[in-house]
Structure 1
Amino acid sequence: MALEDELSCTMCTEFFRDPVLLGCGHSFCRQCISLHWAVSSFRRCSICQQVSPQQPVSNLSLRNTCESYLSEKSTRTESSGDQECSKHGEVIKLFCQTDGKAICVTCKKQEHNGHKTQLLQQAVKQRKGKLKAEIRPAEKTLWSLQNGTALDNKISKYIQTQSQMTEKNIRKEFEKLHKFLRQEEESRISALNEEKREKGDKIEGRIQDGILSLSDRVKEVEEQIEEDDIIFLKNYDSILTRAKYTLPDAELSSNTLIDGSKYLGNLKYHVWEKMKDICPYYPVILNPNTSLPDFSVSDDLTSVTSCLFQQDKRNPFPQHRNSVVLGNVGYTDGTHTWEIEVGNSQYWSLGVCLGSVKTSDVCTLTPAKGFWGIRRVGSSFELMSAQISRLKTKGNPEVIRVKLDYRCDEKGGRYWYVRFFDAGNNYLIAEFNAVPGLKLFPFMIPEDSSAPLRVVPANIMLTVEQKLPFLERHSVIFMICLCFVTALTFLILAWLIERHNR
């Protein structure tokens, strides 16, 4: 420690940095003495207070000594790697596994006697290896993120693809609406122009007939005016009568003019009413995010087909092992009905399932796994259950109706009543009476590539509420009041007559 004191500046108490020698023989760091003199009135040594009129000179010998000492100390520390125990002053060579501390030999004999120990270098090597093994998954994840192979990168790319395809389909659907509206607009304007042409031609024809009739009459009168005076006077009365003749006034009526109400009356409502044909309502919409790559969901999300080849864009999320396609909305109460067109397909499954089911782990679709439905395998229809249960049908159902009813029992328990019908003849194919009253989602599984499963659009009836006159809406109440007043009047009259007779 004495040597380090000799190699340290008395001002900053650190090893000399660029030491300089004053005239008095004392040395300081160049920066330290410069700062000291900058705030002092005289250039004095801070140790002996002797004035140094000359500029200090570099103390090369002291600088070299400091650099050599520091280099030797660093080399010695790196080569040995040893650290001394702060308590015993011995080199630390052991590691106490019991307490998790680096110790010296004396520490092992005293404070750590009986503890499990190992060599310090061995402990460091083991723990460095363990850390490298633990950080390896993070390194792999970092590498996959940097190179675009991580799941998040795949999801990001898939979202871009979904966005582009959804935007394309939105524009396609709106183009259908625009096309319909343009055609409807042209049709109504064409009808308006046709009525304008017909009524305009009729008026124009009447005008031309009037011109022809009046021109002939004016010409005839003018010719008779030029007749011989005697003849003119003789025929004057008849000529005057003919000269007074004009066309009868046109008979104006609402039919003569354009019937604007026919084109503008409830225009938007009637157009909207006609749009039902191109705007069907589907009670179930499929969720394309639950579809496997070997399934093709239609652009309007109402049908799904099993494909021979996988689609180009794969969903990065884990999918159902049984290729289940779910509806996008689950039901928690109420009554819900939808129909699935299965056509002549002989391989399909459909029904309802719990939204909480981990579909990627399910391989058997049964009520125990959270699935309630029916399936067709060849010519037979089966109930989804732990054991094969054949179902009876009338003929070959092409449309299956699924009906959910949310019910409560006498004890307050809640459950679903699930039924499956042949929509063609309303024949009950199967039913589940006590499905847990949890959130249920429709599902479909197409297994025949030649026949898709389609959601049938619901029949929507547009009705207009007719508000009746006040008296007509409350006619029953008025009749009751009238009868009451009449009876009361008779009672009062009878009482007055009886009193008068007394």
Structure 2
Amino acid sequence: MALEDELSCPVCTELFSDPVLLSCGHSFCRQCINSHWTSSKSRNCPVCRQVSPQEPVSNLCLRNTCESYLREKNKKEQKDGEHECPIHGEKIELFCQNDEQTICATCMDYEHRWHKTQPLQQAVKQRKGKLKVALRPAENMLLSLRNGAAKDAKISKYNQSQAQQTERRIREEFNKLQQFLKKEEESRIAALNEEEKEKRGKMKRKISSLSDRLREVEEKMKDDDVTFLQNYNSIMNRAKQTLPDSELSPEALIDVQKHLGNLKYQVWEKMKDICPYYPVILNPNAAPPDVSMSNDLTSVTSCVRRQDEPNPLLLHRSRMVLGSVGYGSGVQMWDIEVGNSRHWSLGVCLGSEERSFVQMLNPENPCCWGLRRDGDVYKFLNTTATFKLKTNPQVVRVKLGDCFDKKGGWWRNVSYFDATLNSIFAYFHLPAGMELFPFVIPEKRSGPLRIVPAKVTVTFEQVEEERSLPERHTVSPKVRWNVLFLVLFFLLVVLCVFVMYHLIY
């Protein structure tokens, strides 16, 4: 860059073009110096300000130097655009097919002598052709997506439909909550106004009673002298009764604590009636197309075909409706209302590793542990065994838990109860460590199968830090009895050892 700066015109700061020399010794582009003299109306040098009365002469030496510099610069730029072999410094013109790397002619004579090579441009042409072939499926997919014919486009359309329906249902649920809160607010304000009205009525009645008594005494005072003196004592007693109370009773004030005390908790406690908790939520994305599901995802019914947008993904090959969450350990329990239906299936099943589908439900499939009712007969889904019940349950309770056998192994236990009688009528033992999903199968001849909301109880525990020091260190009666038993047992052992020692010796 230093050489290029020396070969640049001071006026345009570009490389000299047709340079001329002034009498002062400075050089400029012919066009640049002429333009400068025209604009300034004087023939002074733009660098040293000396006047140049003579016409500038061509600087041939400087012009040749600039042209040589430009030629070298263009050669260097062309050379930089080519790739050289890092070993031999020659131009890379070949491609080794054995090692799949670019090489020069010297590389082909030595390191790649026995390898199969081809010209660089031919290799590029072949591989670009292969890339175009590889990109063709992606181009077709992109065209299908833009035209709306691909499966992904159908999924996108289905997602839009799901989002719209879910948003509508969310708004409906929040509208219910808002209506409840609005009604509760109006009810509590009405109760407050009613109490204030009652207090105000009592005050009015007291004022009215007091006014009547004052009027009565004043009327008695207008009697003639004899009558007034004869009734003086009774009038005095009546006048004393009209005096107001020296202190007002607290009952005369609004019971504010009744209206504001734990207000939010009391409202929340009442909201539990309209906000049930369901231990199992069904998965609408894993429901077959001939099953109708309730808006709260807790009830299913067999139908000809759902009215909403069909699911483009077939997540399983059976008529199962799966729960949204699988359980791998711990105790879980949920109730399913089957009513008087004589045809239904329910239980737990093992999802696939990809969780994309569940295997076909059949008696030979060992991945399902459930029951099916067909009329008066009950059948285990993974066996051919059948049985009957004296009383058909209307609510089936499914309990999933862990158990420990005598051999020292952990097992999962799936039990089925009649929830009304709380009596077990079927159970399965299966190995632990598997994630099990609840499922129901609404048969075509059955009524709706509905998850029963669980009863939620709230308990309050005192924070340990808030307990007083004596209370924190108080020993429970059960602990005291255990310590006393251990002390007595130790004394008894010592006594037995002492007696045996004396008997022997």
* TM-score (normalizing by structure 1): 0.63
- Once the two structures are superposed, residues 410-441 of structure 1 have per-residue CA deviations (whole angstroms, 9 ceiling, x without a partner) of 66644311112222323333221124421111
What code does the residue aligned with 2:368 have? F
Partner of 1:164: 164
Partner of 1:331: 327
Q: Equivalents in 2 of 1:331, 1:41: separation in Å?
A: 93
Q: Equivalents in 2 of 1:298, 1:435: separation in Å?
A: 34
**Residue segments in structure 2 that go unaligned for 5+ positions in a row:** 1-14, 20-57, 65-92, 101-111, 117-125, 485-505
Distance 1:479 1:455, change over 3 A: closer
Residue 255 of structure 1 aligns to a residue in which SS?
Answer: helix
What code does the residue aligned with 1:162 have? Q
Q: Which has the larger radius of gyration?
A: 1
Q: Contact 1:354 / 1:441 at 8 angstroms: preserved in 2?
A: yes
Q: Equivalents in 1 of 2:384, 2:229: separation in Å?
A: 118
Q: Equivalents in 1 of 2:406, 2:426: separation in Å?
A: 24
Partner of 1:200: 200
How does 1:6-85 map onto structure 2 within 5 Å? 38=18, 41-42=59-60
What code does the residue aligned with 1:384 have? L
- Once the two structures are superposed, residues 295-334 of structure 1 have per-residue CA deviations (whole angstroms, 9 ceiling, x without a partner) of 2221111111111123331222222111221111111211
Partner of 2:377: 380
Q: Contact 1:394 / 1:427 at 8 angstroms: preserved in 2?
A: no
Task: Give the superposition deviation at 1:274.
Answer: 1.9
What code does the residue aligned with 1:454 have? R
Task: Give the superposition deviation at 1:289.
Answer: 1.2
Partner of 1:249: 244
How does 1:450-465 map onto structure 2 within 5 Å? 451-464=447-460
Task: Give the superposition deviation at 1:338.
Answer: 0.6
Partner of 1:265: 261
Task: Give the superposition deviation at 1:455.
Answer: 0.4
Partner of 2:5: none
* Structure 1 outlier segments of 4+, above 6 Å: 43-46, 126-133, 232-237, 466-473, 477-481
Identity of aligned residues (%): 47
Residue 363 of structure 1 aligns to a residue in which SS?
Answer: coil
Matched, 1:213 2:213: yes
What code does the residue aligned with 1:396 have? N
What code does the residue aligned with 1:448 have? K
Distance 1:268 1:128, change over 3 A: closer
- Once the two structures are superposed, residues 162-188 of structure 1 have per-residue CA deviations (whole angstroms, 9 ceiling, x without a partner) of 222222212211222222222222222
Q: Equivalents in 2 of 1:289, 1:193: separation in Å?
A: 50
What code does the residue aligned with 2:220 have? E
**Residue segments in structure 1 that go unaligned for 5+ positions in a row:** 1-34, 47-85, 88-95, 100-110, 116-125, 485-502
Q: Equivalents in 2 of 1:303, 1:280: separation in Å?
A: 14
Residue 353 of structure 1 aligns to a residue in which SS?
Answer: strand
- Once the two structures are superposed, residues 443-463 of structure 1 have per-residue CA deviations (whole angstroms, 9 ceiling, x without a partner) of 111123651111011122344
Residue 216 of structure 1 aligns to a residue in which SS?
Answer: helix
Residue 277 of structure 1 aligns to a residue in which SS?
Answer: coil
Residue 200 of structure 1 aligns to a residue in which SS?
Answer: helix
Partner of 1:311: 307
Residue 250 of structure 2 aligns to a residue in which SS?
Answer: coil
Q: Equivalents in 2 of 1:411, 1:306: separation in Å?
A: 45
| Aligned residues: CA RMSD | 4.7
Partner of 1:498: none
Q: Contact 1:350 / 1:374 at 8 angstroms: preserved in 2?
A: yes
Distance 1:479 1:383, change over 3 A: closer
Distance 1:240 1:453, change over 3 A: closer
How does 1:116-127 map onto structure 2 within 5 Å? none
Distance 1:242 1:426, change over 3 A: closer
Task: Kindly tell me the number of residue pairs found equivalent between the two proteins.
Answer: 385
Residue 344 of structure 1 aligns to a residue in which SS?
Answer: coil
> Which moves more between the two structures, 370-379 or 301-310?
370-379
Distance 1:394 1:211, change over 3 A: same
What code does the residue aligned with 1:389 have? A
